[in-house]
Structure 1
Amino acid sequence: MARLPTGWCLATGPLPAGDAATPWLLGDQQVLIEADKRSTFTDHAYRIATADALRNWDDLQFVWQPDRDDLIVHKLQIVRGGETIDLLAQGLKLTVLRREKDFEQKTIDGLLTATAPIEDLRVGDIVRFSSTIVERSDVLAGNGEAIVDVAAKPAAIAQGSVRILWPRTLPVKWKAFGKGIAPVESGKGSYHILTQAQPIVKQDEMPQDAPIRFQRPPGLEFSTFPTWSDLSRTVAPLYATQGTIKEGGTLAAAVDGIAKANSNPKARAAAALALVQNEIRYLYNGLANGNYVPQAPEQTWTLRYGDCKAKTLLLLAVLDRLGVEAMPTLVHSTVGDALPDRLPTLAAFDHVIVQASIGGMDYWLDGTTAGTHVEDLADVPPFRHVLPLTTAGSELAALPLREPARPDVDLHIAYDQSAGTAFPPLFDLSFTMRGELAARLATLKEQATPEQLRDMAQGALGDFVNNGQIHTRSIEVDAAKGTTTIHASGIGNLRWIRDEPRPYLALDGLVSDFEIKADRTRAAWRNIPVSGGSPSLIVRSMSLKLPQRAGFVMEGDVQADMMIAGFALRRQARLAAGKLEKTETVWTSGSEVAVNQLPAVRAQVAAARQREFRLRAPDAYPTRVEEIAAAKKEKRLGPLLAAYQKAIDDDPEAANGYLNRAAFNIGIFEPKAAIADLTNAIEHEANAEIYRRRAGLHAQIGDFRTALADVEEALALDPGDETAFAQKVYLLTELKQYDDALALADEQMAGSKDKRGWVGLKAETLGKAGRAAEGATLLAEALVERPGDPGLLNNLCWLKGTRSFELESALKDCTRAIELSDESSAVLDSRALVFFRLGRMEEARADLDAALKISPSMPASLYMRGILRLRGDDRDGGQRDLALARLQNARIDAEYADYGIKP
Structure 2
Amino acid sequence: MRSIAVLLAASALAPCAPAFAADTPTYGSPADWVVPTTAPLAIGDASTPWVLGDQQLLIEADKRSTFTDNAFYIASADSLRNWNDLQFVWHPDRDDLIVHRIEIIRDGATIDLLGQGMKLTVLRREKDYEQKTIDGLLTATASIEDLRVGDTVRFSVTTVERSDVLAGNGEAIIDVQARPATIAQGTVRVLWPTALPVKWKAFGKGVTPEIKDKGGFRILSLTQPVVKQDELPTDTPLRFRRPPGLEFSTFPGWADLSRTMAPLYATSGTIADGGTLAAAVDRIASASTDPKLRAAQALALVQNEIRYLYNGLANGNYVPQTPEQTWTLRYGDCKAKTLLLLAVLDRLGIEAVPTLVHSSFGDALPDRLPTLAAFDHVVVQARIDGTDYWLDGTTAGTHIEDLADVPPFGHALPLTTDGHTLAALPVREPARPHIQIAIDYDQSAGSAFPPLFDIDFTVRGELAARIATMKAQATPDQLRDAAQAALGNLINNGQIHSRTIEVDEANGTTTVRASGIGNLIWRRDEPRPYVTLDGLVQDFDVRADRARAAWRDIPVAGGPSSLIVRKISLKLPDRAGYSTEGDAQANLSIAGIALRRDARLDGARLEQRETIWSSGVEVAAADLPAARAQVAAAKQRLFRLRAPEGAPTRVAEIAEAKKAGRLAPLLAAYQKAIDDDPDEANGYLNRAAFYAGIFEPRAAIADVDEALKREADADTFLRRAGLYNAIGDHKRALADVDEALQLDPGSESALAFKIETLTDAGRIDEALALADEQIATAKDRRGWVTLKAEALGKAGRADEGTALLDEALVERPGDPGLLNNLCWLKGTRSVALESALKDCTRAIELTDSPAAVLDSRALVFYRLGRLEEARADLDAALKLHPDVPATLFMRGIVRLRENDREGAQGDLALARMQSARIDSIYAGYGIKP
Q: TM-score range by the shorter chain?
A: over 0.9
2:775 pairs with 749, 755, 773, which one?
749
SS state at 1:89 partner: coil
The alpha-carbon deviation at position 488 of structure 1 amounts to 0.7
What does residue range 279-318 of structure 1 map to in structure 2 within 5 Å?
A: 279-318=305-344
Find out whether 1:349 has 2:347 as its counterpart.
no
Letter in structure 1 aligned against 2:328: T
Letter in structure 2 aligned against 1:707: A
The alpha-carbon deviation at position 71 of structure 1 amounts to 2.0
Letter in structure 1 aligned against 2:521: R
Report what 1:139 is aligned to. Answer: 165
Kept in 1: contact 2:532–2:641 (CA 8 A): yes
Report what 1:230 is aligned to. Answer: 256
2:476 pairs with 450, 454, 457, which one?
450
Q: What is the identity percentage for the equivalent residue pairs of Structure 1 and Structure 2?
A: 74
Report what 1:653 is aligned to. Answer: 679
Distance 1:378 1:7 in 2: 52
Listed one character per residue, the Cα deviations across residues 482-516 of structure 1 (whole Å, up to 9, x for unaligned) are 11111111110100111111111101111111111
1:94 pairs with 120, 130, 137, which one?
120
What does residue range 295-694 of structure 1 map to in structure 2 within 5 Å?
A: 295-694=321-720
The alpha-carbon deviation at position 62 of structure 1 amounts to 1.8
Report what 1:866 is aligned to. Answer: 892
SS state at 1:139 partner: coil
Aligned length: 903
**Structure 2 CA distance for partners of 1:72 and 1:718, relative to 1, 3 Å:** farther
Distance 2:846 2:227 in 1: 54
What does residue range 697-736 of structure 1 map to in structure 2 within 5 Å?
A: 697-736=723-762
Greater displacement, 798-807 / 269-278: 798-807
Report what 1:39 is aligned to. Answer: 65
1:49 pairs with 75, 94, 98, which one?
75
The alpha-carbon deviation at position 374 of structure 1 amounts to 0.8
Find out whether 1:213 has 2:236 as its counterpart.
no
Structure 2 stretches lacking a partner, 5+ long: 1-21
SS state at 2:97 partner: strand
The alpha-carbon deviation at position 154 of structure 1 amounts to 1.0
Distance 2:792 2:125 in 1: 76
Find out whether 1:253 has 2:279 as its counterpart.
yes
Greater displacement, 438-447 / 476-485: 438-447
2:833 pairs with 804, 807, 810, which one?
807
Listed one character per residue, the Cα deviations across residues 510-559 of structure 1 (whole Å, up to 9, x for unaligned) are 11111111111111101001111110111100100010110001111111
The alpha-carbon deviation at position 673 of structure 1 amounts to 1.1
Kept in 2: contact 1:418–1:547 (CA 8 A): yes
Letter in structure 2 aligned against 1:340: P
Letter in structure 2 aligned against 1:487: R
Letter in structure 2 aligned against 1:350: D
Distance 1:594 1:668 in 2: 53
Greater displacement, 234-243 / 19-28: 19-28
Q: What TM-score do you get using the length of structure 1 for normalisation?
A: 0.98
Distance 1:133 1:716 in 2: 68
Kept in 1: contact 2:578–2:603 (CA 8 A): no
Distance 2:708 2:604 in 1: 41
Find out whether 1:899 has 2:907 as its counterpart.
no
Report what 1:164 is aligned to. Answer: 190
Letter in structure 2 aligned against 1:806: A
Letter in structure 2 aligned against 1:224: T
**Structure 2 CA distance for partners of 1:71 and 1:9, relative to 1, 3 Å:** farther
Distance 2:82 2:781 in 1: 50
Listed one character per residue, the Cα deviations across residues 200-233 of structure 1 (whole Å, up to 9, x for unaligned) are 1111111111111111111111111110000000
Structure 1 stretches lacking a partner, 5+ long: none
Letter in structure 1 aligned against 2:424: A
The alpha-carbon deviation at position 387 of structure 1 amounts to 0.3
Distance 1:505 1:355 in 2: 48
Report what 2:880 is aligned to. Answer: 854
Listed one character per residue, the Cα deviations across residues 431-480 of structure 1 (whole Å, up to 9, x for unaligned) are 11111111222222222222211111111011111111111111111111
2:845 pairs with 813, 819, 823, which one?
819
Distance 1:649 1:252 in 2: 56
Letter in structure 2 aligned against 1:136: R
What does residue range 784-803 of structure 1 map to in structure 2 within 5 Å?
A: 784-803=810-829
Letter in structure 1 aligned against 2:178: A
SS state at 2:623 partner: helix
The alpha-carbon deviation at position 584 of structure 1 amounts to 0.5
SS state at 2:302 partner: helix
Greater displacement, 876-885 / 127-136: 127-136
Listed one character per residue, the Cα deviations across residues 849-891 of structure 1 (whole Å, up to 9, x for unaligned) are 1111111111111110010011111111111111111111111
SS state at 1:16 partner: coil
**Structure 2 CA distance for partners of 1:93 and 1:894, relative to 1, 3 Å:** farther
Distance 1:737 1:60 in 2: 76
Listed one character per residue, the Cα deviations across residues 133-169 of structure 1 (whole Å, up to 9, x for unaligned) are 2222222111111111111111122111211111111
Kept in 2: contact 1:9–1:41 (CA 8 A): no
Greater displacement, 130-139 / 859-868: 130-139
Listed one character per residue, the Cα deviations across residues 409-442 of structure 1 (whole Å, up to 9, x for unaligned) are 1110000000000100001111111111112222
Listed one character per residue, the Cα deviations across residues 320-378 of structure 1 (whole Å, up to 9, x for unaligned) are 00000000000000110110011100000000000001111111100011111111111
Report what 2:42 is aligned to. Answer: 16
SS state at 1:405 partner: coil
Distance 1:747 1:47 in 2: 59
Letter in structure 2 aligned against 1:407: P
The alpha-carbon deviation at position 54 of structure 1 amounts to 2.2
Listed one character per residue, the Cα deviations across residues 620-650 of structure 1 (whole Å, up to 9, x for unaligned) are 1111111111111111000001001001101
SS state at 2:857 partner: helix
Report what 1:65 is aligned to. Answer: 91
Distance 2:87 2:735 in 1: 64
RMSD of aligned alpha carbons: 1.4
Distance 2:784 2:797 in 1: 16
Kept in 2: contact 1:832–1:843 (CA 8 A): yes
Distance 1:551 1:407 in 2: 34
Greater displacement, 442-451 / 638-647: 442-451
2:870 pairs with 844, 862, 865, which one?
844
Kept in 2: contact 1:848–1:861 (CA 8 A): yes
Kept in 2: contact 1:329–1:389 (CA 8 A): yes
SS state at 1:140 partner: coil
Q: What TM-score do you get using the length of structure 2 for normalisation?
A: 0.96
The alpha-carbon deviation at position 87 of structure 1 amounts to 2.0
Distance 1:72 1:788 in 2: 84
Find out whether 1:114 has 2:140 as its counterpart.
yes
Distance 2:199 2:254 in 1: 13
Report what 2:150 is aligned to. Answer: 124
**Structure 2 CA distance for partners of 1:92 and 1:892, relative to 1, 3 Å:** farther
Letter in structure 2 aligned against 1:633: K
**Structure 2 CA distance for partners of 1:782 and 1:95, relative to 1, 3 Å:** farther
Letter in structure 1 aligned against 2:243: P
The alpha-carbon deviation at position 289 of structure 1 amounts to 2.8
SS state at 1:689 partner: helix
**Structure 2 CA distance for partners of 1:748 and 1:58, relative to 1, 3 Å:** farther
Runs (4 or more) in structure 1 with deviation over 4 Å come to 1-4
Kept in 2: contact 1:10–1:30 (CA 8 A): no
Distance 2:143 2:706 in 1: 60
Distance 1:761 1:114 in 2: 77
